[in-house]
Amino acid sequence: MSNELIPLSQVANIIGGYAFKSGDFGATGFPVVKIANIEPPRVNLTDGERIPAGKVVGLDRFRLNDRDIVMAMTGATIGKVGRVRSSEPSYLNQRVAKLSAKAGHKFDDFVFALVTQAGFDAEVINHSNGSAQANISTDGIGRILVPDFPPEEQLQIGRVIGALDDKIELNRRMNETLEALAQSLFKSWFVDATQSALPKGWREVKLSECCENIFSGGTPSTQIPAYWNGELPWLSSGETRNKFILETEKTITQEGVANSSTRLAKAGSTVIASAGQGHTRGQTSFLTFDSYVNQSVVVLVANKAMSSDMFLFFDLERRYQEFRAISDSHSIRGSLTTKLLGGLTVILPPRDLISKFDEAVLPMTNRIISNLKESHTLDALRDALLPKLLSGELRVSFSVPSNPNQTS
């Protein structure tokens, strides 16, 4: 390997997106990839805007296909990178760049490795301009220096990192399927069954009646370092973006617990974001470990004599829009309180039916959690390997099977 650095433009083609007219967007047609659709390491096309087929005639240059690489070119998240993971064609919007390997698609995994290495986003900012809002051009992206490798080493690095990325993506898709199956099962057993009238033995109760406890927590003073970076996990509302929570971003000390109003939520609890910006408020998650929580998280513990952890979670996680509506109408700040949540109605089936539901979904949720843990391990391995591979400290000296998804 050469120790030289070369501009990214020598390795990758970089193009900017098309300025679609806002009035042309609609609910049908091809997805349009905007900055908001980039959710590293992937591109989320689920809730994005679409453009009619008649509006993309002659725009093949901006068409995106499965495994294409895109990057945000402006705003607070400038430099974030995602990869399209869909067989459905989509189109590139303005202020989003597409990157592809000059040597052919089989080198795209290497390009993706380059632009997702630690520190690359900082280089994007360094090459950007604009005072109020950072912006970078395609030329600016192309001027960023990257290590120079011969083609065979590019392929080997790409195959190693690509294999990890693909396994993480496979786990994500499997979990998406398992979650949808469990949700469908809950709907079939407990929602559709009550559309006309309550079956015999079913009843309406307040959420507070089928919970052993409903509470929120608190935050140790951020001005006292001794309260933070300890061994005790501490959950904030933003982390409810994950349906199943495996870890927290911050930790606190026992001293922080003793000198604050934070409270301990046990594994198996359902947690709901009671406040937060954007889509956060109303997000519902299943806690897989014991953790202290802050004041913007409501913890709900099932009364096992009447309900179960699984039943409670799957009932509440489907009610996001309901949570948003009641918090907007009953609170000046638009927050969910323990009182508001406790007063919600729950349709409670007989306990033996809940037990059967638990038996059906427990293998699914266990597999989801197992996949998440494996992906977390693989992601950490990727983060450890990539800088060593790109620095030349670690050389790939074994044969890595070609990725079946790669094309020349």
Q: What is the pLDDT of residues 2-34, one digit of tens each?
A: 469 999 999 999 999 999 999 999 989 999 999
The residue behind tokens 């020598």 is 10
Domain presence at residue 48: yes
140 and 214 assigned to the same domain: no
Domain boundary residue, one of 101, 120, 148: 148
Q: How far apart are CA 312 and CA 308, in angstroms?
A: 6
Handedness of CA 394, 399, 401, 406 (dihedral sign): positive
Domain presence at residue 389: no
* pTM of the predicted protein model: 0.90
35 and 128 assigned to the same domain: yes
138 and 225 assigned to the same domain: no
Q: Which of 234-248, 328-342, 383-397 is modeled with the greatest confidence? A: 234-248
236 and 311 assigned to the same domain: yes
CATH assignment at residue 317:
3.90.220.20
141 and 262 assigned to the same domain: no
Mode of pairing for the β-strands spanning 228-235 and 63-64: unpaired
Q: Are 153 and 108 in contact (CB under 8 A)?
A: no
Domain presence at residue 355: no
Domain presence at residue 365: no
Domain presence at residue 336: yes
Confidence of residue 405 (pLDDT cuts 50, 70, 90): low
- Looking at residue 322, what is its pLDDT? 96
- Looking at residue 276, what is its pLDDT? 79
What integer best gives the mean pLDDT of the chain? 94
DSSP string, 248-276: -SEEE-HHHHHTS--EEEPTT-EEEE-S-
Q: Is the pLDDT assigned to residue 400 strictly greater than 80?
A: no
Domain boundary residue, one of 348, 369, 388: 348
Domain presence at residue 269: yes
The residue behind tokens 């997805």 is 31
Confidence of residue 1 (pLDDT cuts 50, 70, 90): very low
| Closest-CA residue to 89 (of 69, 126, 62) | 62
210 and 142 assigned to the same domain: no
pLDDT above 70 as % of the chain? 95
Q: Is the pLDDT assigned to residue 195 strictly greater than 60?
A: yes
Q: Is the pLDDT assigned to residue 148 strictly greater than 80?
A: yes
- For the chain, how many structural domains are there in total? 2
Q: Which domain holds residue 64?
A: 5-148
Domain presence at residue 72: yes
Q: How far apart are CA 321 and CA 319, in angstroms?
A: 6
Collapsed DSSP state (helix, strand, coil) of residue 211: strand
Domain presence at residue 114: yes
Please state the separation of Cα 68 from the chain's center in Å: 19
Backbone angles phi, psi at 227, to 5 degrees: -85, -10
| Closest-CA residue to 85 (of 408, 405, 407) | 405
Q: How far apart are CA 70 and CA 44, in angstroms?
A: 12
